[in-house]
Amino acid sequence: MTAVAVFIVLIGLMGLVGSLIPTYQICHQKQAGHRGWHLLLAMIGMFILGYVGFLWMLMHRNTASLEMVVAAVFSAGGGFVWLVVKMSQETILTLQNTLAEKHYQAYHDPLTDLANRHQLYEKIDELSQNENTHFCFLMMDLNDFKMINDNLGHDAGDKVLQIIAHRIQTMMPMQALAVRLGGDEFAVVLPSSCIDQAKQLAQSIQQHIMQDILCEGHRLAVGISIGIACYPQDGEDRKTLMKNADIAMYKAKRSGNTYETYSTNDDINDFPQS
């Protein structure tokens, strides 16, 4: 009976030992690292010592019915701890994945996977909080995109937007943020940059986007108008900066140039507002 009792207790001991790693992982997860898990980890360590002590006792005395009952309780206890810890870890992981997915959806455009307007606002606000920072903001609008939707349908239009978004993303330098504002409007935040760097990026984006797009058996060439405004000289807050970049963009659209930079001489009344 001693060998049977030892085997039964070992099953429970393996459950406790198997619980150590997942409990330790839960303790070090930022969202789930509650002090209760640290206490549970310490208690599992104490349980393991108790199990080892009971095993030593079993091997040095005759095993009776009472010892068998206790061995069964120890075995079930170890299995119970392992089961609870594993189920808790899986539940926490599922919740974290759900939260991460919801967070991603809240900050990204579902069609193009670019950052969305909400993430743009937070990025500009974050950058503008630093008094010594300077950055450029590019507002972009596709030329005559409505014709694609009207002639080829919205499915084709969505495909074109996805291709253009991918091309814009591939042109982004490090730390730059590419954004889809909605419809056929895009934007770029270019941290720690000067106006010359913004102009260079605008030219590169235009050249890349102008490459033919094959869609629904048609070869399309899509143009883009880009307006550039720089912080802080063209706007000391997000609303002003975006408005002035919008004005510069419509100046580019009206003039037929690839891009235009904002100037204080631009009259807001001369340009439509998006």
Please give the single-letter amino acid code of residue 152: L
Q: How many CB atoms lie within 10 A of CB 156?
A: 18
DSSP state string for 116-140: -HHHHHHHHHHHHTSTT--EEEEEE
32-48: b (≥16 Cβ within 10 Å) or e: beeeebeebbeebeebb
Angle at which helix 2-27 crosses helix 35-58, to 10 degrees, equals 160
**Cα separation values, 37 from 24, 28, 91, 154, Å:** 8, 9, 14, 52
Residue 64 burial by Cβ neighbours in a 10 Å radius (0-12, 13-18, 19+): exposed
CA-only gyration radius of the chain, Å: 31
Residue that the structure tokens 């807050």 belong to: 237
Indicate which residue of 109, 141, 184, 246 is catalytic.
184
**Hey, which bits of 128-236 come out as E strands?**
135-142, 177-182, 185-191, 213-215, 218-220, 224-231
Active site residue 266: no
C-alpha–C-alpha distance, residues 6 and 88, integer Å: 29
Joined together, the tokens standing for residue 208 give 């890349």
Q: Can you tell me the distance from the alpha carbon of 167 to that of 172, in angstroms, rounded to the nearest whole number?
A: 9
The residues that are catalytic are: 184
